[in-house]
Amino acid sequence: MSALLIVLIAAFCLAIGYLTYGRWLATCVFQLDPQAVVPSESLRDDRDYVPTSPAVVFGHHFTSIAGTGPIVGPALAIMWGWLPAVIWVLIGSILIGAMHDMAVLVVSLRNRGLTVGEVAGRLLNPRVRLLFLVLLLFALWIVLAIFGWVIASVFVQFPEATLPVFLQIPIAVWIGLAVHRRGGRLLGPSLLALALMYGTVWLGAGCPGLEWAGGWMGDAVRSLNAAVAGLPVWGWVAVLLAYCYVASVLPVWMLLQPRDYINSLQLVTSLVLIVAGLTAAAFFGGAAGDGQPLQLVAPMINLEPEGAPPILPFLFVTIACGAVSGFHCLVSSGTSSKQLRCETDAQPVGYGSMLLEAFLAILVIVAVGAGIGLGWPQEHPGLTGTALWQEIYANWTKVTGGTAIAAFVVGSGNMLEAIGIDAVMARAIVGVLVASFAGTTLDTATRLQRYVVQELAGTLLGSTAGKPASAASAFNPLRWLTTSHGATLFAVLSAFGLALFPAPGKSWSYDNLGTGGLILWPLFGATNQLLAGLSLIVIAFYLLRRGLPTWLAVVPMLFMLVMPAWALVLDIRRWHAGGSLGLAAVAAGMLALEAWMVVEAALLWPKVRGVLEETATPPQPRPQIAAKRRTGRPQTLSEG
């Protein structure tokens, strides 16, 4: 019952946070106006800027921010105890993370949908803009390389998730094209798409229940799954990045929006199933452990787990997504702000999505801290309860990202079995959840990297946001990077180039290629959280210039600058002592860039109170888009 009680208390706290602090931010601080003109209308191009139903934007935003971060982070941090992890998730998400996400979304909405790097240049100065874009480029480079490896690893560990993930693509294209062309409501297509998606999960699991019909279909699927498990990681990374290239250059309504939307339906219903399984297991016990009662097997507090870094400051770096994450500012200002059709949608999309991600993190903590104790017969036969926990979590260095993900899949699958779902089907549902989260983050990150590359290339060419480069730079070799195809090609090829290297400590071999993202992955946690601190600087300057209360951004800003910087300094010392001089040098360089931005902000702070930045004049929409508006074409998926 203790595991279920944790989830119920967390859900209550998150709901109260949304209805109180979230509503106060929306109505009293940012004063969201339902009649305000938003970028999706003023800059509409039916490619990136598209006015969109809040349900669809919520689905896109939630699935994009909730990659594997809220799964891996809590599943690792629980080694310090489930109580510190739960407290940080709740306090961090309500007071920092959700505020950060919604505030960046609002600030971008009121700055023509520009990315947070571009907005930093307007609210602070051009040097900060350039530094911010460089940091974003580096962070997204790591994300693209590592998430390709993560998804490939999920496919290899849980091959039954592969077929459903790829079959989601034609389903998404169908719903995008059908509703965009015909108009109408989303309810019918949504229910049909959801049914089809769960049908693909059943198919990928080997068609459980059809054994009476000869089982030939299940045998064929299982053979396909075995072949999938044998494919090299680098091959999967290449396939995934090729898909991301296509997804990034297509109009958002064709693939990105509908895929994220239908994925969100599947993911939210999967979370509902996990809660139902948790409830059943709490009262009746699980199935995987032969009726083993559900109980918390992880420690409440363990300040010195073997091989682990100190809880301060590393708890606040290990649990990022689920509490607060700098990556979210890229989604808020990169894609979501270009799709909102109304300012007031910023609260459910920005604040609400973050709280739902926090709830996912709570479920991860419970699944790993209690659900895993019901048994893991395939990998650890005969072990259950605390003995199984201690076997898996004996040492920090042995609990890799892959182990953490597997622990969540197995723990959640055990709870799904408690409501009568077949064991293979249960793990397929959770495996698809993980792979879908990672996949939607991967294609969104590719589009975000495209924006950053275009903005950075435009800066280096001497152009301004939204205007072509000058004639003097017409033959500059970087000019192609200002185009959508050129920037996207650079994004995927550079990520693939990094991924092709073997992971640290691994030899150059066919099997080790594709894991290169792990080379720089140790940098990402602290860099990602420092990015949250830097985007909070942008929010603080927005508030300062308008005479609004700045404490709500300054207090979390200081926390999110100090904690990750502290962690990064400790990492640099450890890497230097261990001989990882290259990693230490890159980390020191990143820390110096971020310190430079902080100094720039500190020097500017006393000079801009009450001084509004120059108003950005939005360019006129393209003539063909304006003509479409006048003709009153049918309602689209985005507008539905």
- Residues 259-302 have pLDDT tens digits of 888 888 888 999 999 999 999 999 887 775 456 788 899 999 99
Quick one: pLDDT at residue 357? 96
pLDDT at 619 over 70: no
Q: Model confidence at 476, in pLDDT bands (50, 70, 90)?
A: low
Evaluate whether 506 touches 512 at the Cβ level (below 8 Å): yes
Least confident of 380-384, 612-616, 622-626: 622-626
Is residue 53 one of the residues assigned to a domain?
yes
Domain count, the chain: 1
Is residue 174 one of the residues assigned to a domain?
yes
Question: What percent of the chain lies above the pLDDT cut of 90?
Answer: 46
Quick one: pLDDT at residue 598? 93
Is residue 130 one of the residues assigned to a domain?
yes
The reported pTM is 0.89
Quick one: pLDDT at residue 473? 47
CA-CA distance, 152 to 159, in Å (whole number)? 10
Quick one: pLDDT at residue 475? 55
Quick one: pLDDT at residue 182? 61
Residue range 545-567: mean pLDDT, rounded:
96
The Cα-based distances of 214 to 73, 200, 206, 210 in angstroms read 43, 20, 12, 7
Q: Model confidence at 255, in pLDDT bands (50, 70, 90)?
A: confident
Quick one: pLDDT at residue 190? 82
What letter does residue 616 receive in the DSSP assignment?
A: P
> What is the CB neighbour count within 10 angstroms for residue 269?
15
CA atoms within 13 A on the CB side of 196: 19
Of the candidates 585, 500, 590, 481, the residue with the CA atom closest to the CA atom of residue 138: 590
Is residue 637 one of the residues assigned to a domain?
no
pLDDT at 634 over 60: no
pLDDT at 618 over 70: no
CA-CA distance, 584 to 574, in Å (whole number)? 8
Quick one: pLDDT at residue 465? 41
Expressed as residue numbers, the domain containing 321 is: 2-468+477-631
Question: What percent of the chain lies above the pLDDT cut of 70?
Answer: 90
Quick one: pLDDT at residue 629? 42
CATH number at residue 103: 1.20.1730
Is residue 640 one of the residues assigned to a domain?
no
Evaluate whether 99 touches 425 at the Cβ level (below 8 Å): no
Least confident of 26-35, 251-260, 446-455, 555-564: 251-260
Is residue 115 one of the residues assigned to a domain?
yes
Is residue 276 one of the residues assigned to a domain?
yes
Residue range 166-189: mean pLDDT, rounded:
76
The token pair that represents 193 in the structure block: 């798409």
CA-CA distance, 255 to 226, in Å (whole number)? 29
pLDDT at 635 over 80: no
Give the pLDDT confidence of 103-112 residue by residue, as tens digits. Answer: 999 999 999 9
Burial of 566 (C-beta count, 10 Å sphere; 0-12/13-18/19+): middle
3-state class (DSSP) for residue 380:
strand
Burial of 425 (C-beta count, 10 Å sphere; 0-12/13-18/19+): buried
Give the pLDDT confidence of 2-43 residue by residue, as tens digits. Answer: 899 999 999 999 999 999 999 999 999 999 999 999 999 999
Q: Model confidence at 615, in pLDDT bands (50, 70, 90)?
A: low
Sign of the CA dihedral 347, 349, 354, 359?
positive
pLDDT at 466 over 80: no
pLDDT at 463 over 60: no
pLDDT at 620 over 60: no
Give the pLDDT confidence of 46-57 residue by residue, as tens digits. Answer: 888 999 889 889
Evaluate whether 204 touches 228 at the Cβ level (below 8 Å): no
Q: Model confidence at 494, in pLDDT bands (50, 70, 90)?
A: very high
Least confident of 33-42, 116-125, 222-231, 436-445: 222-231
Give the pLDDT confidence of 121-158 residue by residue, as tens digits. Answer: 999 988 888 888 888 888 888 888 888 888 887 787 77
pLDDT at 488 over 90: yes
Quick one: pLDDT at residue 596? 92
Is residue 108 one of the residues assigned to a domain?
yes
Quick one: pLDDT at residue 638? 47
Quick one: pLDDT at residue 479? 82
Quick one: pLDDT at residue 40? 93
